[in-house]
Amino acid sequence: MDNTDGRNLRSSESWNHAGRPFITTSVLFSFLLGVPFLWKSVEIYRSPLPFHDIDSLSDQIESTPLRFPCNFHAVFVGFRSTDPDNLRSQIQDGINQLTHQNSQCGSCNFSLSVTVQNRDDQCSETLAHSSTTCSYRCGVIKRNVFGVGVDDTVDESLNDVFSGCSEESGKMYSVVVVNKENANGEDEVKAVVGKGRHAWIVGNGLEERYGDMVARVSEIFVKVFMNGGREEDSIQGEFMPVGSDGRIVLSFSLLNSNPRDWVYDWDFQRIDEALLAPVTKALAPIANISVESQVLYHTPKSSFSSWDKKLQSYIFRTSALPFFVNSNEWHLDTSAGASGRSKILQFVVYIPSGKECPLLLQLPNGEISKTNGFISPIWGGVIVWNPGNCDKDSESSSRNTISPQDLEQIVEIFLGQFRQLFGFKSEAFYTSGLGTYKILPSDRGFTEWELDVLSTKHTCFNLHSCSTTLGSLSRLVRSLPRMIIKDEIGEQVKYSLKAAKLAQSNASLGEYSSSASSSREARSLAENAFFHPSIMSVSYFSYEHCFAVYSPFFLPVAGHVVLAALREWKRYKQEKAKYLTWLTRKKTA
């Protein structure tokens, strides 16, 4: 009895020992083994972003504003007894005063040198540093060139003198002050800024008022060459019409408001090749510009004009300008070439109908505008062109073409508007408290020094925009720990940072155009990374969602397995205790 009990007990116990707990624990362990695999499978791929580099870039851009090296050179011709060192310190003071010693982004880290050439063509000079290629050869500038001929010839000759200096670190800007001693002694002082990086001031008896001259020279250096003749402003977005992918699309539209009166066409191909291509090429470091054109019909304007008897024409005032562009009938935004992030600038030539011809714009002071056009920042410009004689009876209803001369005039106004959209003035004068400076226009739309100003301002803007975009991106990525970051985004961030560093180093070397194009690239890559379509927070699970998704699969089964294992463990312990008591009883028995 006892034996059979013991045998039964033993056999059942041995089974209990090895069988049931073993099975349950093995199931439990297999579950536990699978947990790392599960963890790995729900792991999301996040391309590692260089957060530290992004932060350091934005810190750097905030704390040390970018400055470009420039060389200023002042030449005083026909001055007898002036000391160049004295002049140099005075001009330096003047410049420092005008820049208020503030180092804004894009300002010049300048080095100044002064040369005085007296009437016998002997020179004394102070040089900021020994620059061999750019030293001014004494006597090259002759006093009799000035004041005689047209400004263009003077400009050409000065260009020849100073053109050897473009290879230095930073560009060389020169101002020539010429003191003529004429018998007829006119008192007037003429100041002209040339197409290259030079300007000149001509006058009589300048030596006596050389304090004035010093002030004007400083003003030219700061207000004209450094700031481009614009008001002192911070980097304003309204005059940076470059799209975030570095492209601008110029969309030209010719609007025939009432084709029943007359229909006009234009030879845009010719304009594009002859007149717009040089401008596009000149601005290549700053923006990739493409040009489109279209002709539209039945496009009335939506503001009103009134007949003026004295001028024998229809007048529209500046108060009506906000309502001029009739967006319901003017389908201007039909560009096929512009991608989602390019900037389109609309240039519209409006041909009024017979009922409103000629249509002239009256300025607030009562005068009639000579250009008959207006711009709107960031949007574009409108020009109203009146057909020749406004006589609709004699016009046949066949298509007319705008004559080449008229077309050239229109394009000139366009280029003026284009300059305004970039923040420059469209007029050819710069006026300050000290006097007026005449600015020679260039056939590329922008003079060399204006292109330099554009490059520096755009470099600053692009770098600032790039760093804020990358900063936003890194904050966004860090705030969503379960969002997938694709490799593409990581690459774009990396290249953007590289391009930004390149832009900064180019800027410190004085390479304006290459820093502008690197900064443009940096900005466009940063924007591509930020606006990547896969960054949508609504598509990715937070930890709570992840738990909510997987728990219905695993929790019930896992619960059962764990409970079973616990039960088996308890039962094992009970049986073990029983076996031990049976053993001790057997021993004592």
Partner 1 sequence: MKILLILGLLLCYSFVSSSGDTTIHTNNWAVLVCTSRFWFNYRHMANTLSLYRTVKRLGIPDERIILMLADDMACNARNEYPAQVFNNENHKLNLYGDNVEVDYRGYEVTVENFLRVLTGRHENAVPRSKRLLSDEGSHILLYMTGHGGDEFLKFQDAEELQSHDLADAVKQMKEKRRFKELMIMVDTCQAATLFNQLQSPGVLAIGSSLKGENSYSHHLDSDIGVSVVDRFTYYTLAFFERLNIYDNASLNSLFRSYDPRLLMSTAYYRTDLYQPHLVELWRPFILIQLTKPSQVKSPIVRAIPRCHSINFPSTMQTSQMMS
* For the chain, counts of helices (H) and of strands (E): 13, 18
Q: With respect to partner 1, which residue has the nearer C-beta, 292 or 412?
A: 412
Within positions 41 to 100, which residues make up the interface with partner 1, using CB under 8 A?
none
Distance CA 123, CA 134 (A): 15
Residue 51: CB partners within 8 Å, gap ≥ 6? Answer: 474, 478
Within positions 364 to 403, which residues make up the interface with partner 1, using CB under 8 A?
364-365, 367, 369-371, 373-379, 381
Q: With respect to partner 1, which residue has the nearer C-beta, 117 or 465?
A: 465
Closest residue by Cα to residue 568 from 7, 19, 158, 11: 19
Structure tokens at 544: 């709570």
Q: Report whether 295 contacts 253 (CB < 8 A).
A: yes
For the CB of residue 443, give the shortest distance to partner 1 in the complex, in Å: 5
Is 234 a residue that touches partner 1 (CB under 8 A)? yes
Is 9 a residue that touches partner 1 (CB under 8 A)? no
* H or E, element range at 247: strand 247-256
Is 297 a residue that touches partner 1 (CB under 8 A)? no
Q: With respect to partner 1, which residue has the nearer C-beta, 172 or 338?
A: 338
Q: Report whether 520 contacts 460 (CB < 8 A).
A: no
Q: Which stretch binds partner 1 (CB under 8 A): 85-93, 114-122, 326-334, 574-582?
A: 326-334
For the CB of residue 335, give the shortest distance to partner 1 in the complex, in Å: 8
Distance CA 253, CA 251 (A): 7
Q: With respect to partner 1, which residue has the nearer C-beta, 126 or 335?
A: 335
Is 273 a residue that touches partner 1 (CB under 8 A)? no
Is 551 a residue that touches partner 1 (CB under 8 A)? no
For the CB of residue 442, give the shortest distance to partner 1 in the complex, in Å: 8
Q: With respect to partner 1, which residue has the nearer C-beta, 44 or 363?
A: 363
List the beta bridge partners of residue 401: 265
For Cα atoms 86, 87, 89, give the angle at the middle one, nearest 5 degrees: 65
Q: Which stretch binds partner 1 (CB under 8 A): 320-328, 398-406, 449-457, 484-492?
A: 320-328
For Cα atoms 211, 212, 218, give the angle at the middle one, nearest 5 degrees: 90
Q: How many CB atoms lie within 10 A of CB 322?
A: 9
User: Max Cα separation, the chain?
Assistant: 151
| The binder of partner 1 chosen from 11, 30, 56, 339 (CB under 8 A) | 339
For the CB of residue 362, give the shortest distance to partner 1 in the complex, in Å: 10
Closest residue by Cα to residue 346 from 356, 331, 361: 331
Q: Report whether 375 contacts 369 (CB < 8 A).
A: no
Q: With respect to partner 1, which residue has the nearer C-beta, 22 or 323?
A: 323
Closest residue by Cα to residue 240 from 48, 459, 400: 459
Length of the chain in terms of residues written: 589
Distance CA 276, CA 273 (A): 6
Structure tokens at 492: 């774009």
End-to-end, the C-alpha distance of the chain in Å comes to 15
What character string, x for contact with partner 1 (CB under 8 A) and - otherwise, covers 436-465?
A: -----x-x-x--------------------
Q: With respect to partner 1, which residue has the nearer C-beta, 152 or 487?
A: 152
For the CB of residue 536, give the shortest distance to partner 1 in the complex, in Å: 6
* Residues binding partner 1: number (CB under 8 A): 66
Q: With respect to partner 1, which residue has the nearer C-beta, 147 or 278?
A: 278
| The binder of partner 1 chosen from 63, 81, 539, 588 (CB under 8 A) | 539
Q: With respect to partner 1, which residue has the nearer C-beta, 161 or 235?
A: 235
Q: Which stretch binds partner 1 (CB under 8 A): 133-141, 420-428, 485-493, 545-553?
A: 420-428
What character string, x for contact with partner 1 (CB under 8 A) and - otherwise, covers 96-135?
A: ----------------------------------------
Q: Report whether 220 contacts 228 (CB < 8 A).
A: no
Task: Report CA-CA distances (Å) from 77 to 84, 129, 173, 372, 428.
Answer: 12, 21, 16, 43, 26
Can you give the binding site for partner 1, defined by CB under 8 A? 234, 236-238, 274-275, 302, 318-319, 321-329, 333, 335, 338-340, 361, 363-365, 367, 369-371, 373-379, 381, 408-409, 412-413, 415-417, 420, 426-428, 441, 443, 445, 469, 472, 475-476, 530-533, 535-539
